[in-house]
C-alpha cells in the first residue's frame, strides 16, 4: 500500500510540476512580443517582478494552510485554475492592448504559481522521508521538461495562430490536465493537527531559523541573478540570433539540460548533503554565466547557456531536498515556502525589477551584465550557511 502511494505521489506531483513550470517562462516569452507592441521595458520588468512577489508572498499562506489541515490536493487544483484564468486574460492582451489587463493577468499568474512548489515538495518529503531528494530530483526533471518545451510551443502557437488563440488553447489544456492531477493526488493524505499541536509547531519552526534564514538570504540573492537572466535572456538571444524561432529552440535545448540535472542533483544531495550541492550549483552557474556574457560565437553562446541552465535550473531537488534534511516533517511546507517562496521567488522578483530598470535606463546588454555582479555576491556569501544542522525530532513517515 505504501509503495503504491509513493508511486502515485511521484507520478501525479511530477505531472503537476511539468504543468506548473511550463508557466514560469510564460511572461519572459511574452515580453518579446510586448516590447514589439510598444510597451515599456520598465513596465514589463515591473510586471515580471510583481508575478514573483505575489507568488512568493502568497506561498507563505499556502504553506501554512497545508501544514494546518493538509488539503494539498484542493490547494493545488485552485492554483492551476487561477493560472488558467491568467493565461486566457494574457491572450486578451493581444486583442485589447491595455496596461491594466497585463497587470491583472500578471497578478493572477503570480497567485497561481504560488501553490505548486510548497505543496508538491511537501507531499514527496512526507511520503519519501530521507529518500525525498531522489524523488524530488525525478519530480523536478518533469518540471524542467515543461520549462524546456514551453518556449518553443508557445512561440510556434503564437506565430501561427496568434496570441489570443494560442493562449486560449493553453488555458484549456491547463484546465484538463489540472483535473487529472487533482484526482491523482486526492487519495494521498498528509497529517492534520490540533490547535495545541499548531502552537507547538510554531515554536519548532522558529528553532530552525538559524539555518533557514541564512539559506533563504543566499537563495534570495542567487535567485535575483537566475530569474533576472531567465526573464531577459529571450530578448537578449532574439537580438543575437535575429530570430524568435531560433531563440525558442536555443531556450528549449538549454532548459532541457535540467531534465537530467534535477535527478542528478537530487541523488548527490542525498549522498553529499544539501549544503555542499548548494555551493556547487551556485558557484558553477555564476562561472558559466560570466562565460556566456563574454562569448561572441553563437555556437559557444548556445553551449555555455546550456551549461549554465544545467546548474541554475536544477535547484528544486537541491533546495527542498536540503530543507527535508534540516527541518522536521511537521513544518515542511512552511519551510519550503520560506526558502522557495520568499528566497527563490521574491528574490527573483527583485532581480527582474532591477533588470527592467537597468534595461530602461541604459540598454539590454548593461542589464545582462548587472547580473554578473549579483551572481558573484551570491557565491561569496555561501559560507553563511551553517555547516552543522540538527533536527529536533526524527523525520516522520506515514
In this predicted model, which residue has the larger pLDDT, 369 or 73? Answer: 369
3-state secondary structure of 157: helix
In this predicted model, which residue has the larger pLDDT, 198 or 162? Answer: 162
Least reliable range by pLDDT among 65-74, 262-271, 313-322:
65-74
For 121, residues 6+ apart whose C-beta sits below 8 A from its C-beta are: 136, 316, 320, 323, 332, 333, 336, 340
For residues 46-52, give the mean pLDDT.
85
- The confidence band for 192, taking pLDDT boundaries of 50, 70 and 90, is very low
**What distance in Å separates the CA atoms of residue 62 and residue 241, rounded to the nearest whole number?**
41
Residue 354 in this model has a pLDDT that exceeds 60: yes
Q: Tell me the CATH number for domain 2-384.
A: 1.20.1250.20
Cβ atoms of 306 and 298 closer than 8 Å: no
Q: Would you state the pLDDT for residue 293?
A: 92
For 95, residues 6+ apart whose C-beta sits below 8 A from its C-beta are: 163, 164
Q: Would you state the pLDDT for residue 2?
A: 59
Nearest to residue 41, comparing CAs of 363, 306, 346?
Answer: 363
Q: Would you state the pLDDT for residue 191?
A: 58
Q: Would you state the pLDDT for residue 395?
A: 42
Delimit the domains of the chain by residue range: 2-384
Q: Would you state the pLDDT for residue 129?
A: 75
Q: Give the tens place of pLDDT for each residue, 88-145.
A: 999 999 999 889 999 999 999 999 999 998 888 888 888 887 778 888 888 888 887 8
Q: Would you state the pLDDT for residue 144?
A: 79
Cβ atoms of 234 and 27 closer than 8 Å: no
- Helix axes of 244-272 and 298-312: crossing angle, nearest 10 degrees: 40
Q: What angle do CA 216, 320, 337 make, to 5 degrees?
A: 55
pTM (predicted TM-score): 0.78
Q: What is the mean pLDDT of the chain?
A: 85
Q: What is the 3-state secondary structure (H, E, C) of 309-376?
A: HHHHCCHHHHHHHHHHHHCCHHHHHHHHHHHHHHHHHHHHHHHHHHHHHHHHHCCHHHHHHHHHHHHH
Q: Would you state the pLDDT for residue 280?
A: 95
For residues 220-247, give the mean pLDDT.
87
Least reliable range by pLDDT among 48-62, 217-231, 237-251, 308-322:
237-251
Amino acid at each position: 500500500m505504501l509503495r503504491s502511494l509513493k508511486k502515485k505521489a511521484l507520478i501525479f506531483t511530477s505531472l503537476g510540476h511539468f504543468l506548473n513550470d511550463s508557466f514560469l517562462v510564460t511572461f519572459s516569452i511574452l515580453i518579446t512580443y510586448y516590447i514589439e507592441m510598444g510597451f515599456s521595458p520598465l513596465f514589463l520588468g515591473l510586471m515580471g517582478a510583481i508575478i514573483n512577489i505575489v507568488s512568493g508572498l502568497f506561498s507563505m499562506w499556502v504553506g501554512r494552510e497545508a501544514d494546518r489541515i493538509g488539503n494539498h490536493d484542493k490547494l493545488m487544483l485552485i492554483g492551476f485554475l487561477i493560472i488558467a484564468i491568467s493565461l486566457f486574460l494574457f491572450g486578451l492582451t493581444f486583442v485589447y492592448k491595455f496596461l491594466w489587463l497585463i497587470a491583472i493577468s500578471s497578478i493572477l499568474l503570480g497567485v497561481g504559481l504560488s501553490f505548486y512548489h510548497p505543496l508538491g515538495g511537501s507531499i514527496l518529503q512526507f511520503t519519501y522521508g530521507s529518500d525525498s531528494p531522489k524523488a524530488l530530483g525525478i519530480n523536478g526533471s518533469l518540471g524542467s521538461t515543461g520549462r524546456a518545451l514551453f518556449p518553443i510551443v508557445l512561440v510556434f502557437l503564437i506565430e501561427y495562430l496568434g496570441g489570443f488563440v494560442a493562449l486560449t488553447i493553453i488555458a484549456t489544456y491547463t484546465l484538463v490536465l489540472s483535473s487529472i492531477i487533482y484526482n491523482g493526488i486526492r487519495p494521498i493524505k498528509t497529517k492534520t493537527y490540533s490547535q495545541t499541536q499548531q502552537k507547538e509547531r510554531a515554536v519548532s519552526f522558529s528553532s530552525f531559523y538559524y539555518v533557514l534564514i541564512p539559506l533563504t538570504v543566499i537563495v534570495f540573492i542567487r535567485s535575483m541573478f537566475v530569474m533576472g537572466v531567465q526573464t531577459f535572456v529571450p530578448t537578449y538571444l532574439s537580438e543575437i540570433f535575429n530570430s524568435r524561432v531560433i531563440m525558442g529552440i536555443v531556450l528549449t535545448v538549454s532548459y532541457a539540460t535540467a531534465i537530467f540535472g534535477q535527478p542528478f542533483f537530487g541523488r548527490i544531495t542525498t549522498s553529499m548533503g544539501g549544503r555542499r550541492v548548494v555551493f556547487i550549483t551556485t558557484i558553477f552557474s555564476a562561472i558559466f554565466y560570466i562565460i556566456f556574457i563574454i562569448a561572441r560565437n553563437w555556437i559557444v553562446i548556445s553551449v555555455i547557456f546550456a551549461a549554465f541552465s544545467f546548474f541554475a535550473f536544477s535547484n528544486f531537488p537541491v533546495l527542498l531536498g536540503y530543507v527535508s534534511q534540516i527541518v522536521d516533517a511537521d513544518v515542511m511546507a512552511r519551510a519550503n515556502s520560506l526558502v522557495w517562496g520568499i528566497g527563490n521567488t521574491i528574490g527573483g522578483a527583485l532581480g527582474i525589477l532591477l533588470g527592467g530598470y537597468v534595461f530602461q535606463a541604459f540598454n539590454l546588454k548593461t542589464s545582462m551584465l548587472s547580473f554578473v555582479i549579483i551572481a558573484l555576491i551570491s557565491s561569496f556569501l555561501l559560507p553563511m550557511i551553517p555547516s552543522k544542522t540538527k533536527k529536533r525530532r526524527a523525520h516522520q513517515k506515514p
